[in-house]
Amino acid sequence: MFDGLSAFPPTPADAQGHVQEKLLAALIGRIVATEADSVGLLGSTGGYAYLTPSERQRAVRVAVECLGGKRPLFVGVGALRTDDAQALAMDARKAGADGLLVAPMSYTPLTEEEVFQHMVAVAEAGELPLCIYNNPGTTKFTFSEDLIARLAKVPHIAAVKMPLPADGGFTGELARLRARLPQDFTIGYSGDWGAANALLAGCDAWFSVIAGLLPAPALALMRAAQARDEAEVRRIDARFRPLWALFQEFGSFRVMYAVADSLGLYSLAPPRPILPLSGEARARVEAALEALGAP
Amino acid sequence: MFDGLSAFPPTPADAQGHVQEKLLAALIGRIVATEADSVGLLGSTGGYAYLTPSERQRAVRVAVECLGGKRPLFVGVGALRTDDAQALAMDARKAGADGLLVAPMSYTPLTEEEVFQHMVAVAEAGELPLCIYNNPGTTKFTFSEDLIARLAKVPHIAAVKMPLPADGGFTGELARLRARLPQDFTIGYSGDWGAANALLAGCDAWFSVIAGLLPAPALALMRAAQARDEAEVRRIDARFRPLWALFQEFGSFRVMYAVADSLGLYSLAPPRPILPLSGEARARVEAALEALGAP
């Protein structure tokens, strides 16, 4: 259920953190219409860290209703406390989610054993296929290959969402992971600017931020990669490049608010303390979307 | 109000995150009895990140009642969202706190401008003397000297709690900060193992984790430093050294649970995913307390 293109929509919310149901439903509708392979709700760019459990639950209900079983839905259930993450996992299952995405949020830096036990506890509570969310940029915890291999033996744990390797070396990393993980374990990448290389190197999934708002060109890139059409992958990736540069420079969370505004989907500000893009950066988003030929 | 020895008590709570009022009151009582200069409630080792706003509010009420105005109380009001941090600041003031301690918790990595605006917003909402909590190890944000100087001009912002400089060079850092900050701005350090050197270099405050459970020897070190008795500072610091080694190796948050247990104050586990010390590490805590001659 984690393989292929997973589209990660933002979660439109007002300044007080109340999820805007109609806006979220519209985003999910766009994703379903383009036939992306799955929906990853409440990921980092989905702003889960800034929403209360009840707002997160509301977002899940909206997505389940909108998807109507047409595509698998997995839901980010990260929390600083293990019991809170377990409760979120149970909430997500009851609301109809098909899978879970678990990032080990941290305040006190965590040890490997702490993260192992945390993941096991959430997997047991959730009883749904679970994707390890290896996102050091936000959680400040890096999963070692040893820890991923250990977690892959735990019931329900079925996938890992990897960050882009620092040296860009996907082939070596994938070979090492494949050698240690069960054959049906999904290895996917996030960090949209590295997706083309990750897919061409043979990973199973692209956990895509941009597919949350622009599913069509992201899916075209994914299908070209699946057809092993490297020239087409490179061609589409090149059109995305100005947007990737903005993601890397300003963080995709900030940029996606500007993208939604430019596309006429909604005009909302990110949750403070996060500031919206302005001035030249904002103008560059317009230019990047033009380069892409969107909408 | 931030100068001198500030004792940071842990916040005893059960496995569900409910503050244990009597245990907290007992800790505050010990601190008042030794005449530490102030109490820093709900700091990082006070576990604020793992407690709900209502539990945090309850902890403040217990501390205010216990202190009875005998010592200033400042309260950690860190939160991922600016509006949540503002609400916590107003709650703390209404409950009788004398000051605030604000760490820019992060999930999405924050920019300098975001942190500046966040701090200003919390200062305005709180209307109490505010200490900047520069704690990169947990917040993943490092305050530049430029940003501290800019914030020092904001009404209510009156102090900074610095991490130990990576190169151990307190003198240069203090000189640079003093040159840019108002004369009555408090510059203090956390990281108990560097306190002796920080105090001897002339900082204004020691924001002390260990003083939360062992205020007497911490105060002895502070008073020796204030008397410029370097030999006595070194003597006391040497007795603390085995404990400092544990703080550095396992993190003071984990070690303090074991210290509380060894001292017979309470036997509680840290909030999961944080795991208690066990085996050899736990035994070393006993030995470290013996070396210190505690209780």
Mean pLDDT in residue range B153-180: 95
Q: Which chain A residues are within 8 Å of B107, Cβ to Cβ? A: 44, 49-50, 105, 138
Mean pLDDT in residue range B124-152: 97
Q: Which chain A residues are within 8 Å of B108, Cβ to Cβ? A: 44, 49, 138, 251, 253-254, 274
Looking at the annotation, which residues of B are catalytic?
133, 161
Residue B277, in any domain of the structure: no
Q: Which chain A residues are within 8 Å of B115, Cβ to Cβ? A: 273
Residue B62, in any domain of the structure: yes
Record: contact A272-B81, CB cut-off 8 A: yes
Task: Assign B283 a pLDDT band (cuts: 50, 70, 90).
Answer: very high
Instruction: Specify the DSSP element, H or E, that contains B208.
Output: strand B205-208
pLDDT of residue A293: 84
Identify the CATH number of the domain in which residue B151 sits: 3.20.20.70
Q: Output the average pLDDT for chain B.
A: 97
Residue A295 has pLDDT above 80, yes or no: no
Which residue is listed with tokens 């702490």?
A: A114
Residue B14 has pLDDT above 80, yes or no: yes
Backbone dihedral angles phi then psi of residue A215, each to the nearest 5 degrees: -65, -30
Q: What is the pLDDT of residues B220-242, one digit of tens each?
A: 999 999 999 999 999 999 999 99
Task: Assign B294 a pLDDT band (cuts: 50, 70, 90).
Answer: low
| d(C-alpha A86, C-alpha A79), whole Å | 9
pLDDT of residue A168: 72
Partners of residue A74 on adjacent β-strands: A40, A99
Cβ atoms of residues B210 and B216 within 8 Å: no
pLDDT of residue A218: 98
Residues 6+ positions from A136 with CB-CB distance below 8 Å: A142, A163
Residue A216 has pLDDT above 60, yes or no: yes
Neighbour count for residue B107 (Cβ, 10 Å): 25
Record: contact B272-A82, CB cut-off 8 A: yes
Mean pLDDT in residue range B163-170: 88
- Interface predicted TM-score of the whole assembly (ipTM), two decimals: 0.96
- Closest residue to B253, CB basis, from A108, A273, A274: A108
Closest to B130 (Cα-Cα) out of B149, B104, B155, B164 = B155
A186 marked among binding-site residues:
no
Domain span at B32: 4-227
Report the alpha-carbon angle A30-A137-B254, nearest 5: 125
Pairs of residues, one from chain A and one from chain B, whose beta carbons lie less than 8 Å apart: 90
Cβ atoms of residues B174 and B200 within 8 Å: no
H helices then E strands: how many in chain A? Answer: 12, 8
Q: Regarding predicted confidence, which is higher, A112 or A291?
A: A112
Residue A133 appears among annotated catalytic residues: yes
Burial-class residue A22 by CB neighbours within 10 Å (0-12, 13-18, 19+).
exposed
The radius of gyration of chain A's CA atoms, rounded to the nearest angstrom, is 18
Residue B259, in any domain of the structure: no
Residue B243, in any domain of the structure: no
Q: What is the pLDDT of residues A59-82, one digit of tens each?
A: 999 999 999 999 999 999 999 999
pLDDT of residue B167: 81
- Closest residue to A83, CB basis, from B16, B104, B110: B16
Mean pLDDT in residue range B185-208: 97
Overall domain count for chain B: 1
Residue B239, in any domain of the structure: no
Chain A's closest residue to B108, CA to CA, is: A138
Q: Among residues A50, A70, A107, A133, which one is catalytic?
A: A133
Minimal C-alpha gap between B139 and chain A (Å): 7
pLDDT of residue A100: 98
User: What are the distances in angstroms from CA A177 to CA A170, A197, B191?
Assistant: 10, 17, 38
Chain B's closest residue to A120, CA to CA, is: B273
pLDDT of residue A189: 98
The radius of gyration of chain B's CA atoms, rounded to the nearest angstrom, is 18
Q: Which of A51, A105, A107, A122 to mutate to test the interface with B (most CBs of B within 10 A)?
A: A107
Residue A295, in any domain of the structure: no
Tokens of B237: 């610091």
Residue B98, in any domain of the structure: yes
Residue B105, in any domain of the structure: yes
Residue B168 has pLDDT above 80, yes or no: no
Q: What is the pLDDT of residues A18-46, one digit of tens each?
A: 999 999 999 999 999 999 999 999 999 99
- Whether residue A273 has a cis bond before it, omega within 30° of 0: yes
Q: What is the pLDDT of residues B59-117, one digit of tens each?
A: 999 999 999 999 999 999 999 999 999 999 999 999 999 999 999 999 999 999 999 99
Record: contact B273-A49, CB cut-off 8 A: no
**Collapsed DSSP state (helix, strand, coil) of residue B39:** strand
Q: Which of B51, B108, B110, B255 to mutate to test the interface with A (most CBs of A within 10 A)?
A: B108
> What is the amino acid identity at position A48?
Y
Q: What is the pLDDT of residues A176-188, one digit of tens each?
A: 999 999 999 999 9
Q: Is the dihedral of CA B175, B177, B182, B188 positive or negative?
A: negative
Which residue is listed with tokens 């303390």?
A: A273
